[in-house]
Every structure is written in C-alpha cells, then in structure tokens.
Amino acid sequence: MPLNSVVEIREADVRRLLPMPDAVRLVRESFAGLADGSAFNQPRRRLILPTGAILHQLAGSFEKYFGVKIYSTHPRNGAWFLVHLYDATTAQPLALVEANWLGQIRTGAASGVATDLLAKNDAATLAVIGSGFQARSQVEAVRITRTIREVRVWSRDRSRREAFAREMNAIATPTAEEAVRGADIIVTATYAKDPVIESSWVSPGAHINAMGSNNATRRELPADLIERAGLIAVDSREQARLESGDLALAWSETDWDTPRLCELQEVVAGTRSRTSDDDVTIFKSNGLGVQDIAVASWVYEEMMREKAETGSEQAIPAR
C-alpha cells in the first residue's frame, strides 16, 4: 500500500466522530478482548533525552486492527500525540490519527467503564480534583454511567476551577476537602507529586478514579487510602508496576501480590467486583495502547464510511 493512500485523521475529525458513549463502549470492549485473549497490549516505553524531551510509545491490537500511539513531550514546549493504525491481517498501514483529543476521551472512557462497574448504583455526587485537560472528559464519562446530581471541583488555581465549574455545570469549592467529603465518586486528575486528598475525607463506599500520575515517583493518593481500599483495579498489572506511583510508593514488593489488586479486564469479565457497599474502590488508570487502537479504529471506520457516502472511498464492512 503506498503511503499516499494512508488516511490522515485530524483532531476535528476525532472530536466529531468519537462521542463519549461510543468511546466508553469501545474501551469496555477492549478490556473484554484482553480478558478473552482476542486483544493484545504492550506497555508504555519511554526514550528520555538529556534535553528533557521524551518519546512515549504504547502498542495494542483490537479486532481487525493493530497499531501504536507515539507521543513526544517536553516540560517547556508541550506534547504531540499520533496514532499509527494498521490492518491486523495484512500489516498494511491504514491511518495516521492526530491523537490529543483521542487520548483525552479514551482516558475519560476508561474511568467511565470503571465507574459503571465499581461505583454504587445510587452514586450521585462527583468530586473532581484538578481542572485541566483531562478533568473534563472524566466528568463527561461519569455522567454517562451514573445519574449525577452534583459535581464539585477543586484545583489550586481559583480562576481555573471557577471557569471549569461554569463550563461543566459544577460547584467550585475553596478546598479539596470540601469537594471530597460526602462524594460518592472521586476523580483525581492532577500533575501533583504528593497526595491531593486524605483518606479521612473519603466516605465508606466511595469509588475513586485516580488517573493523574503515570510516573513511579508521583502519586495522588496517600498510602493509608491504598491500604483501606477493598478493591484496587488497574488497567494492567505489568504497566502499574512500571509507573503507578500511587501503588509503588505505598507498597513493598510483596504487597503487589495482595488479593485486593486486580485488572479492570477481570471486573469487565465479571470475575472480580465490589463485595460490600462500604468498600472503598479504586481504579488506578495509566492508559493502555489497546484502548487507543480501539477508539482510533472506530474513528477510522467512521471516516471511511463518510468518504464512501460521498463516493471518494470504498466502504469498509461494519463491525
């Protein structure tokens, strides 16, 4: 296949073609695929340069597709995200996808899956710590899976949290504690190095989506909250051991064998679940390449259908 036949998919296309309900469904299907062996994932690898630039790589296979998300970051210059999508049967390149928005929505979608499976059925209050790029999709995904009556948000920058509250129909609180106390669902979406909430603020039965840290030296949750949790789901044990500071900084090497730890694919498959309404449950999200391929393949198929309707491309079979 000549490279000039590779479809280029822009951020605007991703925004238009990947609504959150579809993303939640697709991410759930990717975890189901990991559970039954039909999907595959390769944990993130990083190439770190003396300049501060880092190249990050995640790979996965889902249904008829496989591929890799590659993104570059620099602390002063920002981040750039791309997904390379291939045909899993022929290995032919199919699409190059701008993936900033794609990554944001699939990260929210993973929390949506975890919330749907682990939060109490009557959960109605959401606390969000952080008001940045990722926090918005977290709120959107949680609202899809539960009837949320109140969203409370706190972040260090008052103007940003108040702008977030206006945009997301939420309440900006003056402290993190006021946001968290009494919340049924808690999201931490920060760049913090040290814990941003305390265990004593967290009500019995609360569910927590911790997705801000994917570095073994940073954490958002304190050790006593990790110890208190009745069930901790990670997207991948292998990847969690590499980059989940929330767990690595709380545990010794033997603690990783605790029966309280599972992968989200086990929860999706129904082999693990919340055992008590009073249990605190945690989803520690790091993000998997298979999630990116699942949503990127959907966007690609939707793009090809659009092109087929206009007569510019041959249609591809429906899933």
Q: What is the pLDDT of residue 309?
A: 87
Question: How large is the C-alpha radius of gyration of the chain?
Answer: 19
Q: Which of 231, 288, 225 shows the shortest CA–CA distance to 262?
A: 231
Q: Give the global pTM.
A: 0.93
Q: How far apart are CA 292 and CA 99, in angstroms?
A: 9
Q: What is the pLDDT of residue 133?
A: 83
Q: What is the pLDDT of residue 27?
A: 98
Amino acid 124 reads: A
- 274-277 long-range contacts (CB < 8 A, ≥24 apart) are 274/118, 274/120, 274/230, 274/231, 275/230, 275/231, 276/205, 276/230, 277/120, 277/204, 277/205
Tens digits of pLDDT across the chain (319 residues): 455 689 999 999 999 999 999 999 999 999 999 999 999 999 999 999 999 999 999 999 999 999 999 999 999 999 999 999 999 999 999 999 999 999 999 999 999 999 999 999 999 999 999 998 889 999 999 999 999 999 999 999 999 999 999 999 999 999 999 999 999 999 999 989 999 999 999 999 999 999 987 788 889 999 999 999 999 999 999 999 999 999 999 999 999 999 999 999 999 999 999 999 999 999 999 999 999 999 999 999 999 999 888 876 655 655 6
Contact 68, 58 (CB under 8 A): yes
Q: How far apart are CA 266 and CA 257, in angstroms?
A: 16
> What are residue 171's DSSP bridge partners?
152
The full set of domains in the chain, from first to last, is: 3-103+289-309 (3.30.1780.10), 105-284 (3.40.50.720)
- 168-177 long-range contacts (CB < 8 A, ≥24 apart) are 168/136, 168/139, 170/128, 170/139, 176/129, 176/201, 177/201
Q: Which of 130, 125, 107 shows the shortest CA–CA distance to 58?
A: 107
Contacts with 70 (C-beta within 8 Å, 6 or more apart), sequence order: 55, 56, 57, 81, 82, 83, 84
Contact 252, 296 (CB under 8 A): no
What DSSP designation does 5 have? Answer: G
